[in-house]
Structure 1
């Protein structure tokens, strides 16, 4: 047998072996026992993972790189963002239909536990009240609105002649003696009114600031039992309310805007050094705790068990493989994977030596 014949025979044998291996692998993937095979392989992997610590498989930097991509760099596509509108419509309708009462979502026992924890935050509560009490912006805001209310009341209750005298009419257009007398009275009265207004405004702003500071100080000094009783009574009032009661006044557009605004704000703050430092600190804490811990224990601590993994394989693998095979993709994938081996000169040389020795 000459070399050309041998080469042709070797090539034909390689093609036959490739086709046979592709079909054998395809049949195993399509076999009803695929899940059983996957379970056996998973058990072998878990047995090996029991001896391999996290630090040998994943480096600290690799873990940070993954978080960086998904937390700091990944952006939702325009299609998903546009979907927020449809999602808001559905969420709004779903939230209104057969909405449970608050007590059905949060039991008295759970509410009591949350309440106890909130009441324990005495120092935090005092800090917040202190910030509110000394907020100049808040003082100005309250005083401005009180002044507006007082002005409205004065205007409504003032007699017509006083309103006329204090109105902003052009006094230079007044004619005759009566007009000049009226202009003089208006000028004196306006001057006096302005002085009283300025005094009233200063006094009121000082009183508002003093009242807010004292109220916040008094609240901060309240005993924890008073806070506990007050919040508990509030819970007793609202616990029988339906969840839908708290969504009244919100329409789907409001929900959509909240979703979009929240996502846009997250995209901004996630780029700040502060937020990235916080997340990276969390990664360091996690890695320091689990670097030398076997993979199986890490998975168990994060709540991923063998049953979880096997359930996901059973749920997705068989139908996905079936669809891929119906479109001819399984055979193509396997052929691409195995073909380089059968075209490798080393493999062909092995087949050639086997043919010569037969």
Structure 2
């Protein structure tokens, strides 16, 4: 507003227009007005394509700003923490099973799709069984198992003098020259590792040769045992603090990885592909592609519009909004000139 005072006639017109707009939004005409406006907008949407209405560059700038540059405030992180605590403590987990949220049919469809990826499965098995770290882990476990078994077998044997023999054995090992006990254990470790290398390769081949039908049946048996268990059984292993920390770790990882050229390239490629597919599609048809039509828009306008408008009207914010938008126009020299002009009624046509 430019501060120019309104003339009495301009003030009266401004008040009349504001009252008219408020009546339209708060009265019985609201739904009819919404329907008419949305219909007009959708008719215009038929005339504009995505490429005409928007540029990929602008979408990329927005996505880069909010996805790649914007950092969550402390308030958002606190909100996530509060939500994590509430979700973790919700009683619904005790009454909900895996089968309630994933049907047998859906699980079988996903399993069948995974089993179709035989090349992926073969590559995964090969990478696992041929990895030296996997062999080393198996060897360490077997070494500890052998030692534990021998100690237990000797200690619990009913043979006369077995326990004394075990005690003597331990004392004898301790009396050996320094490093000899470690050398003996190292030799056992090396022997088991060499023996396991061929066994692991053979087990990998056996696993790959396992018929898909047998593998499918085995996995379905596992699913049958798990699907009746409540979700609380799994969630009890995690605390609310664990969920919060997982979110923080995930967010910190995202902050790091989003700065890479890889993420930026993926986002830009996705936007470019979207415009390549739908660039020449009208905005009306594009809304239809995602399932939004005239009636859905009316429903949402009727759901959210009236309560929001009512609050604004009760607090005087609605009138203030319209006054801010219109007062400058009614105070303009153009309106003043129109109101000051003398209009002569058109002459009546002469009687024939």
- Please, what TM-score do these two structures have when normalized by structure 2? 0.84
Is 1:39 paired with 2:29? Answer: no
Q: How many Å separate the matches in 2 of 1:91 and 1:40?
A: 43
**Residue deviations 1:323-354 (CA, integer Å, cap 9, x gap):** 11222111111111112212222332232334
In structure 2, do the counterparts of structure 1 residues 191 and 326 end up closer, same or farther at CA, with 3 Å as the change threshold? closer
Which residue of structure 2 aligns with residue 56 of structure 1?
52
**Is the 1:133–1:214 contact (alpha carbons within 8 Å) kept by the matching residues of 2?**
no
Aligned to 1:28: 24
How much has 1:311 moved relative to structure 2? Answer: 1.7
Distance in 1 between residues matched to 2:322 and 2:173, nearest whole Å? 94
In the alignment, which residue of structure 2 is the partner of 1:242?
230
Match of 1:270 among 258, 261, 264: 258
Cα deviation, 1:39-66, whole Å, max 9, x if unaligned, reads 1100111111122111111111122223
Q: Tell me whether 153-162 or 236-245 shows the greater mean CA deviation.
A: 153-162
Residues 236 and 155 (structure 1), Cα distance of their counterparts in 2 relative to 1, 3 Å cut: closer
Q: How many Å apart are 1:246 and its aligned residue?
A: 2.9
Which residue of structure 1 aligns with residue 162 of structure 2?
A: none
Unaligned runs of 5+ in 2: 155-164, 346-352
| Matched-pair contact (CA < 8 Å) for 2:60–2:271 | yes
Unaligned runs of 5+ in 1: 1-6, 168-184
Aligned to 1:125: 121
Please list, as runs of the form range in 1=range in 2, the aligned pairs for 1:294-313 lying within 5 A after superposition: 294-313=282-301
| Alignment of 1:166 onto 2:173 | yes
Maintained 8 Å contact 2:140/2:189: no
Q: 1:76 to 1:191 in 2, by over 3 A?
A: closer
Is contact 1:49-1:294 (8 Å) kept? yes
For 2:131, the equivalent position in structure 1 comes to 135
Counterparts of 1:210 and 1:218, CA distance in 2: 12
> Separation in 2 of the partners of 1:153 and 1:354?
113
Quote the residue 1:347 is aligned against. 335
Is the counterpart of residue 288 in structure 1 residue 247 in structure 2? no
Q: Distance in 1 between matches of 2:275 and 2:219?
A: 40
Aligned partners of 1:88 and 1:255 also within 8 Å = yes
Quote how far apart the aligned CAs of 1:263 are. Answer: 2.7
Aligned to 1:318: 306
Is the CA contact (8 Å cut-off) linking 1:102 and 1:239 kept in structure 2? yes
Tell me which residue corresponds to 1:115: 111
Cα separation, 2, equivalents of 1:166 and 1:75: 61
Which of 96, 100, 105 lines up with 1:104 in the alignment? Answer: 100
Contact kept, 8 Å, 1:84 with 1:260, in 2: the verdict is no
> Do the aligned residues in 2 keep the contact of 1:99 with 1:242 (CA within 8 Å)?
yes
Counterpart in 1 of 2:157?
A: none
Superposition RMSD in Å: 2.7
Deviation at 1:120, TM superposition (A): 0.5
Instruction: Tell me what 1:333 maps to.
Output: 321
1:298 shift after superposition = 0.7
SS in 2 for 1:240: coil
Aligned equivalent of 2:185? 197
What is aligned with 1:182?
none
In the TM superposition, residue 285 of structure 1 has moved relative to its aligned partner by 1.6
Given the two structures, how large is their TM-score scaled by the length of structure 1? Answer: 0.82
Pick closer, same or farther for the CA change 1:252–1:122 going to 2, 3 Å: same
Figure out how many residues of one structure are paired with residues of the other and give that number. 331
Deviates more, 1:329-338 or 1:202-211: 202-211
